[in-house]
């Protein structure tokens, strides 16, 4: 099953997504203080400072533009609470499990409520080890839905980990309608086509990831080069009636990642100026997927 997913009256579609990985700056303060030789990062360890909590500014911008996006929320294990002591002093253990949040954290609960009431989509950000574990994915989905107060429709795997087609089979089996994992953290482009596709010829849909912010030239070092890359993607999308899916992590709107906030704002406003439909994948899925899909002849 195929077809053009771009809503009528639009030149192309831009799906906006955000993976909520680390909304709190913890060990990064020491890391940046040492690697960037900037001790001011240590100030971010002070009580009440939350430089990675960029949601108010991000939501305000999207609201002003009349668009919404999807936030994929992670239910990851904690390094010191859930992982074995042998991992506590390993680089991999810190990278994967340190500085995580809990779905019961009051700020997270308040954020979920804000997103739900404001019309944003909340989806599942499947944890690192759940890529091929249906029971784990199902449990994470149940916990997220309990915290959110409503079912979730789709999601993306942490670190873009994907087992094809097993992960999609798990997503479909636990009641998800779509996945946005298929893509690269290091490269951008339409490597997997210009349209979402149905790997099982049914209602389940894959939205290929076109670009993650970290794959682009660093806008803090050379904004013109970074924008040229984004502009080329928008042009290609318009020329091919494409669905373009973009991932910006919320922490990339902080001062630790200069230029990415500006780049995202220009991405959204330029797409709107060029006649794009802009919104979350779940909304585009609802617009493009019938309640029942007829069997192929």
Domain boundaries, the chain: 13-288
- Phi–psi pair at 251, nearest 5 degrees: -65, -20
For residues 69 and 257, give the distance between their C-alpha atoms in angstroms, rounded to a whole number.
21
Give the per-residue pLDDT at 2.
46
158 φψ region: left (φ > 0), alpha (ψ -120 to 50), beta (else): beta
**CA angle in degrees (0–180, nearest 5) for 254-255-260:** 65
For residues 205 and 122, give the distance between their C-alpha atoms in angstroms, rounded to a whole number.
17
Give the per-residue pLDDT at 22.
85
The structure's pTM equals 0.88
Give the per-residue pLDDT at 294.
40
Rounded average pLDDT per 10-residue block, the chain, 297 residues:
82 98 68 59 59 94 98 78 67 62 93 98 96 96 98 97 97 98 98 98 97 98 98 98 98 94 98 98 91 43
Per CATH, the number for 13-288 is 3.20.20.370
Give the per-residue pLDDT at 297.
36
């Amino acid at each position: 099953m195929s077809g053009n997913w771009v809503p009528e009256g639009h030149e192309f579609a831009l799906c906006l997504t955000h993976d909520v990985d680390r909304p709190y700056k913890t060990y990064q303060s020491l890391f940046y203080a040492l690697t960037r030789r900037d001790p001011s990062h240590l100030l971010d360890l002070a009580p009440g400072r939350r430089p990675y909590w960029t949601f108010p500014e991000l939501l305000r911008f999207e609201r002003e533009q009349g668009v919404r996006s999807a936030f994929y929320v992670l239910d990851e294990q904690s390094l010191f609470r859930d992982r074995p002591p042998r991992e506590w002093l390993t680089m991999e253990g810190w990278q994967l499990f340190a500085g995580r949040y809990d779905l019961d954290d009051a700020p997270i609960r308040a954020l979920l409520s804000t997103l739900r009431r404001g019309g944003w989509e909340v989806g599942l950000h499947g944890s690192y080890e759940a890529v091929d574990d249906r029971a784990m994915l199902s449990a994470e989905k149940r916990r997220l839905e309990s915290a959110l107060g409503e079912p979730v429709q789709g999601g993306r795997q942490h670190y873009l980990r994907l087992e094809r087609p097993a992960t999609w089979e798990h997503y479909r089996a636990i009641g998800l309608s779509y996945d946005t994992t298929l893509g690269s953290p290091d490269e951008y482009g339409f490597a997997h086509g210009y349209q979402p596709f149905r790997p099982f010829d049914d209602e389940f849909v894959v939205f290929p990831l076109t670009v993650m912010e970290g794959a682009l030239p660093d806008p803090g070092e050379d904004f013109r080069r970074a924008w040229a890359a984004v502009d080329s993607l928008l042009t290609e999308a318009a020329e091919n009636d494409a669905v373009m899916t973009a991932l910006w992590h919320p922490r990339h709107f902080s001062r630790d990642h200069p230029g990415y906030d500006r780049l995202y704002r220009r991405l959204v406003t330029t797409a709107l100026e060029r006649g794009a439909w802009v919104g979350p994948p779940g909304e585009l899925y609802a617009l493009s997927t019938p309640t029942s899909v007829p069997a192929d002849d």
